[in-house]
Chains A and B, each alone.
Chain A
């Protein structure tokens, strides 16, 4: 009994470390890709081709003094980064990276994913509120408004996929794509578009990165955090990016499916990396939307589109029997 518990703990710690490695190199690749698009090289001094840049950044953050301003709400201030980060790690458990490589096979995997990811919003609100700083408060308010508003289109956009595959279990969704012979992006193209836009808004990435609009609010809700606590917020943002890209791969691009000459996980990572590149590409190209335009767009454009998608899917499914 203890051995299997010990094994489970080791698996958990190992997957956490693997995840941190993934985040480290996701950050490195973001800087390189955006640098290349801006006619410059990204980091290229620390280690060969700059590969150790993020490692040294994280080490630097670990070695900084832990400053807690005196007038903050201490308990909330300290807990906020943890609440922001923990859900992002939890939702990775349900993603099926390949046919045999998955964390937990939940029958309500998709619901679990979307439900747990909303807890991060509380973490952000706690961080912004407890900082006792007007900029942080403004950033947190904007962030919460944005994240709550865009969860609705996010959920609505994946309902089409659920209808087509008949299950909330992520592995069953991939099997349904295998049975149908076509990846869900083709019948669910409208849903895919809505999903991508809602996902970028959920992740607080450009062009919807108002809560941390550097040039307007000087880092928004994490302005009073320094050292490793700030690293937690960044970490949670990148882990979410990885998770949302992985979910998009599973739902719309067929997960691990692909011709048999490469193992499933390689196909998964290949498709997933396209999404990640797309996120970086968006950040390098587009300016930021304004907060009221963002809200208008989410409520008045995305939700109707997602509803239309659901109606069409239902009609098609009923007609096809």
Chain B
């Protein structure tokens, strides 16, 4: 009849226990490395392959590039992400073959007063240094998150290769999993666009929406 009295002991117990509140903004939660925060663009690495534009499910990325006549390489001129529509799925970082678009653990610098200011351009995006529980970049200028994630996967790959050394198929699969794993690439380039290296890159003229008004 009086079983409901047991609940009282529980709530009184919680009165004296430690609380779980984090006193933001004095204490901040520590975001793990894979946290899908705001993107960062490293323009020097971009080869203007347009894979990020094609992979994005909500079509928020627009970019323009040009071919540098001396070095015969492509150069990124403008790069815009519309954060009104970005759903933080990070497909763009997944498919980028040169890790020019990376995700940081920054999550709190998007508050603006005017909606137009949410269309961020290359200058804003390249200033998003990694923030949170690590800050350094490695000696090659790669953001620290990639080093760790790549290292984790490298370890997994090695373990796998050792275990299935006798099985040639498995070994072949292991190396196939990362086609052209060059040291700068992110894990598992799996996209449905065509291969970047062999395609002739076209200059994307979707520059109509290079919305530069920000801040």
Contacts and interface: CB of A to CB of B under 8 A. Distances in A.
Direct contact of A and B (CB under 8 A): yes
B8 A40 contact: no
A134 B10 CA distance: 38
A319 B101 CA distance: 92
A197 interface: no
Interface in A28-77: 33, 36-41
A267 B14 CA distance: 27
A307 interface: no
Interface in B1-33: 4, 7-8, 10-12, 14-15, 17, 19-21
A39 B19 contact: yes
A21 to B, nearest CB: 25
A281 interface: yes
Main SS of chain B's interface residues?
helix
B99 to A, nearest CB: 41
Contacts of A286: 4, 7
Contacts, number: 29
A36 to B, nearest CB: 5
Contacts of B4: 286
Contact of A36 (B7, B10, B15): B15
Given A40-B20, A40-B21, A41-B21, A33 B7 contact: no
Contacts of B8: 281, 285
Interface string A182-220: 000000000000000000000000000000000000000
Interface residues of B, number: 12
A265 interface: no
Contacts of A39: 14, 17, 19-21
A285 B7 CA distance: 7
9 contacts: A33-B15, A36-B14, A37-B11, A37-B15, A39-B19, A39-B20, A40-B21, A285-B7, A286-B4
A284 interface: yes
Contacts of B21: 39-41
Contacts of B11: 37, 281, 284-285
A237 B179 CA distance: 71
A30 B40 CA distance: 46
A285 B14 CA distance: 11
Closest 5 CB pairs of A and B: A37-B11, A285-B11, A36-B15, A40-B21, A285-B7
A95 to B, nearest CB: 28
Contacts of A33: 15
A40 B19 contact: yes
B197 to A, nearest CB: 54
Contacts of A285: 7-8, 10-11
